[in-house]
Structure 1
């Protein structure tokens, strides 16, 4: 598959590159960002490993993981990180994190829409799902506003900060997906 580049009115998704390490550290190294994620703040070495793994996954055939930089259109600086990992049965799980400077502006909803465009319109998937911490109410609002439906709870789903934590899951099916007006465009090979 050609490199992924998706553009919406306020955001773009592009392949991760080696120059993204410091910007991703500002996201994944931030305790406020990782408070509800399935891991604690990352070190520079851990972030570099994520960058390296993201770049390597883009070259795999078949490609099963899309680890993408979230940017603003026309600006290559990473402001967040998005991931879509395919599963059997034409399904995928998604996740993302934004730098706190982007919180509260609807960018999470737009990120989910971009990931759904990739999953449904480009990859031809049937189902996309996401999971959140039970305490992350902002994520609940984002996933619902993006058109996903709450499915339920996975008990003791992740072990983080020395304890097991549940996850609340959401999904959207291909026939439920309606791209919003001014929706994303997939730009192959750009």
Structure 2
């Protein structure tokens, strides 16, 4: 996580300078301490019109404090209300139950499993896909 927190802000800054823009990153800052505790990312899907992927990560010290849900909602709001997207989806490890709860609380629906989607530590890992459509976001059913 420490490597991601150090690497991803620089990557997001570089992505912000590319035109046309295809990626949006946010830093998650602890309100009281003013410290970086995570990041979020919305990346337009080059293979689908009006679609994007969302991702987020928090340092374990901030798990369960609501920052993940706030980050996902912010990125969904930006994607639907400002970019005019139709579909936003994210993928998680099958073992990451807190991430599943966060995405569900943000209104994302679990759609299924992408088998052996990610190579981690020399082993293939499945990913569970969650998504939300613009009409679901607009209905406020979350």
TM range (shorter): 0.7 to 0.9
Aligned residues: 138
SS at match of 2:35: strand
TM-score (norm 2): 0.87
The structural deviation recorded for 1:53 is 2.3
CA distance in 1 between partners of 2:4 and 2:64 (Å): 26
Aligned residue number for residue 69 of structure 1: 27
Structure possessing the higher relative contact order (Cα contacts under 8 Å, 6 or more residues apart): 1
Aligned residue number for residue 160 of structure 1: 120
Q: Could you list the runs of 5+ residues in structure 1 that have no partner in the other structure?
A: 1-27, 30-41, 181-190
Q: Could you list the runs of 5+ residues in structure 2 that have no partner in the other structure?
A: none
- CA distance 1:113–1:130, change in 2 (3 Å): same
CA contact (8 A) 2:28 2:67 kept: no
Residue from 49, 65, 75 that aligns with 1:105: 65
SS at match of 1:177: helix
The structural deviation recorded for 1:106 is 2.4
CA contact (8 A) 2:25 2:42 kept: yes
CA contact (8 A) 1:117 1:179 kept: no
Aligned residue number for residue 39 of structure 2: 81
TM-score (norm 1): 0.66
